[in-house]
Structure 1
Amino acid sequence: MNPTQQPKKPIVLIVEDEPLIRLLAVEFIEEAGFDVIEAANADIAVSILETRMDIRIVFTDIDMPGSLDGMKLAAAVRDRWPPIQIVIVSGRGRHHDLTLPDRAIFFDKPYDIGAITATLHQMAAAPTAR
């Protein structure tokens, strides 16, 4: 690497249909040192994932309009792009019957920014072979 080049920041794909909540997530995740790509629903997120090979983490809400909700998106990510880390969030609280994909982490809304930031840094530090 050229000494004048900055190392690339890990990329987080934020999938959230509520614009203000998505903006909050974008702001605190960028402030934590990540680059961000936004998607307003899971269908858009899948299209992005099909064309980008540099996404390290998907940060998705559960409840969204479209053909996939956040849980189905997380399952699709785990199936099609296994190295990608997954953070699932919901404002409805964690249901006892909620089954997360392997290695996915769940957070309630409102966001605990410190806990989410720490988790994102741990996930970004994990080795990947995408």
Structure 2
Amino acid sequence: MKNRPRILVVEDETMLIEVVAAELEEAGFEVVTALTGEAAATILAARTPIDLLFTDIRLPGALDGWGVAEQARALQPDLPVIYVTGYSAEEPRQVRDSLLVMKPYRPSAIIAAARRLGIG
């Protein structure tokens, strides 16, 4: 059996992370979740194989989504990244070749974005 692409989903809204994870799994992805940037950094530092990072920009704690993506790219320079945010006041710090999706979004939009990045 072919390995399913693994997506690290970083989102602090528990209900949203559950819905998104369920939709992604139904679409054939394996999902690893983190509720904070720090938790995501721990997963990345453990060298857990990740095929796509999907992160909210605004996260509790000291590490926001921009920082999670920067750390992820330091470890995996070609890792595809999808950011999601409900706020656009911040100056974007997107890593190259990444996508930004505005909230509210449908999980199907994330699946389509992942496929545009060549995942799944």
For normalisation by structure 1, the TM-score amounts to: 0.82
1:67/1:34 CA distance change after superposition, 3 Å: same
The one-letter amino acid paired with 1:57 is L
**Contact 1:12 1:55 (C-alpha < 8 Å) held by counterparts:** yes
Matched-pair identity in %: 32
Which amino acid is the alignment partner of residue 113 of structure 1? P
Task: Tell me the SS of whatever aligns to 1:37.
Answer: strand
Q: Provide the residue aligned with 1:116 in structure 2.
A: 110
Q: Does residue 31 in structure 1 map to residue 26 in structure 2?
A: yes
Unaligned segments of structure 1, at least 5 residues? 1-5
Find the counterpart in structure 2 of residue 48 from structure 1: 43
- Aligned twin of 1:98: 92
Bigger radius of gyration among the two: 1
Determine helix, strand or coil for the equivalent of 1:106: strand
Deviation string 1:71-98 (CA, Å, 9 cap, x unpaired) is 1111222223212111100122x34732
Aligned partners of 2:66 and 2:119: how far apart in 1?
24
Which amino acid in structure 2 is aligned with residue 114 of structure 1? S
Deviation at 1:20, TM superposition (A): 0.6
Deviations 1:35-81 (A, max 9, x none): 00011111111111121342111110011111200111112222232
Cross-structure match for 1:3:
none
SS of residue matched to 1:55? coil
Whether the 8 Å contact between 1:32 and 1:117 is mirrored in structure 2 is yes
The separation in 2 between residues aligned to 1:57 and 1:43, in whole angstroms, is 17
Structure 2: any 5+ residue segments left out of the alignment?
A: none
CA RMSD, 1 decimal: 1.9
CA distance in 2, matches of 1:83, 1:107: 19
TM-score (norm 2): 0.88
Aligned residue for 2:25, secondary structure, equals helix
Give the distance between the partners of 1:62 and 1:125, measured in 2 at CA: 21
Letter in 2 for 1:115: A
* Counterpart check, 1:8 vs 2:28: no
**Where has structure 1 moved over 3 Å in runs of 4 or more?**
94-97
Aligned residues between the structures? 120
